[in-house]
Amino acid sequence: MLTAVATGVDEPLTLTEREVPEPGQGEVLVKITACGICYTDLDLLQGEWPIARFPVVPGHEITGVVAATGPGVSWPEVGVSVGAQFLGDSCRHCDYCVRGEQILCPQKRITGIVMDGGYAEYAVLKADFVTPLPAGLDPVAAAPLMCAGLTAFNSLRQAGATATSRVAVIGAGGVGALAVRYAVAMGARVAVIGRSRRGEAAAREMGAEQFIATQDADPAEALRAWDGGANVILNASPSTSAAAATLTGLAPDGTLVLCGYGPEPLTLPTQPMVLNRLHAMINPSGSPHDARDTLAFSAAHGILPESTPIGLRDANGVLDAMAKGQSGKRSVITFG
Ligand SMILES: [Zn+2]
Ligand SMILES: [Zn+2]
């Protein structure tokens, strides 16, 4: 099978032919249909994952079809369409695992970082950690839902967004656009924060009732003027400081959740935080039940990300462009 392997930090992916692996106990062999290219894959190659086990096959936005099952697997059967995500395995017996919060397991293992992922024609995955694809969901369009979608959906959920919330989203491309559409579909009122007014028409089309351009207005002040502030602010921009600058735009008990952040530390003013019981969090992807809910919600509301299909041989070029900050639509590797 054609495979792209990350051999070490600052090394391009090596394209190579490998034997199709055999699934072991509790594992399934998945013939991959599509695998999205996530910023985490770039981080891996740039050395920002000290837990990485090189050589490793990157990729954790996987959709495909079960081609074989290992011993002890009663589900999924051969022929079932599944997705696979960032969380690839966990211990199954710690307090978090037994509560269905496997993403918090201290022994969790990450697909495409310490276990081989989806930059290959086949992958061996843990049967308990794949997600059934809802009928009618296009497997190529759905691939980015397994990380970008899951992270956006679950960040809103973990930050407490409900139908009565005011949700502000900083940066409405990619993950941010998904967050806006999820929040609107949940019934929340939505504001989009951008640098200029360039994204306003698109934001309003997605259902945002407010658009705040940071070149014209202080975003925290503008949010406070929005019926007392946002209950949730979701940062989908790559800037930690842009997120921090909006903190005082939160309503009391509000939560700032960072889907995007840079390498700099998150610096927040403590006085408004203590006076208003404000929260700040970063949500890592999600547990298996979160992935199921993301796919079900996305299918029910017709929320699919825009993406560009590419071949596996184009992956290095896409990662180079991402490293240079040339962000376009999400690239999805497809296997014909
Ligand atoms: Zn555990
Ligand atoms: Zn990811």
DSSP 75-95: SSPTT-EEEE-SEEE--SSSH
**Residues 6+ positions from 4 with CB-CB distance below 8 Å:** 13, 14, 15, 16, 57, 58, 119, 120, 312, 315, 316
| pLDDT at res. 27 | 98
Distance 120 CA to ligand 2 centre (A): 17
- Give 208's pLDDT tier (boundaries 50, 70, 90): very high
Residue 262: burial class (beta carbons within 10 Å; 0-12, 13-18, 19+): middle
Distance 175 CA to ligand 1 centre (A): 28
Distance 128 CA to ligand 1 centre (A): 13
For the record, the structure tokens of 236 come out as: 């989908």
Query: Please, which residues have CB less than 5 A from ligand 2, an ion?
Result: 38, 40, 147
Closest among 121, 4, 3 to 62, alpha carbons compared: 121
Cα dist from 5 to 55, 62, 93, 154, whole Å? 6, 16, 32, 29
- Give 305's pLDDT tier (boundaries 50, 70, 90): very high
Distance 42 CA to ligand 1 centre (A): 27
| pLDDT at res. 173 | 84
- Give 81's pLDDT tier (boundaries 50, 70, 90): very high
Distance 277 CA to ligand 2 centre (A): 30
CA angle 18, 19, 23 (to 5 degrees): 125
Ligand nearest to the CA of 58: 2
Ligand nearest to the CA of 105: 1
Q: Are 83 and 133 in contact (CB under 8 A)?
A: yes
Distance 103 CA to ligand 1 centre (A): 8
For the record, the structure tokens of 39 come out as: 């910023």
- Give 234's pLDDT tier (boundaries 50, 70, 90): very high
pTM of the prediction? 0.96
Cα dist from 309 to 55, 187, 218, 323, whole Å? 25, 32, 38, 19
How far is residue 63's CA from residue 134's CA, in Å, rounded to a whole number? Answer: 12
Distance 284 CA to ligand 2 centre (A): 9
Strand partners, 15: 4
Please report, rounded to a whole number, the percentage of residues in the chain having pLDDT higher than 90: 96
Task: Report whether pLDDT(54) > 90.
Answer: yes
| pLDDT at res. 198 | 93
Distance 276 CA to ligand 2 centre (A): 32
Distance 50 CA to ligand 1 centre (A): 21
Q: For 138-291, where are the E strands, in sequence order?
A: 166-170, 189-194, 210-213, 230-235, 250-258, 279-281
| pLDDT at res. 263 | 86
What pLDDT, in 10s, does the model give residues 120-179? 999 999 999 999 999 999 999 999 999 999 999 999 999 999 999 999 999 988 899 999
| pLDDT at res. 336 | 73
| pLDDT at res. 177 | 96
- Give 326's pLDDT tier (boundaries 50, 70, 90): confident
Please report, rounded to a whole number, the percentage of residues in the chain having pLDDT higher than 70: 100
Distance 126 CA to ligand 1 centre (A): 14
**Which helix or strand (DSSP H or E) is residue 115 part of?**
none
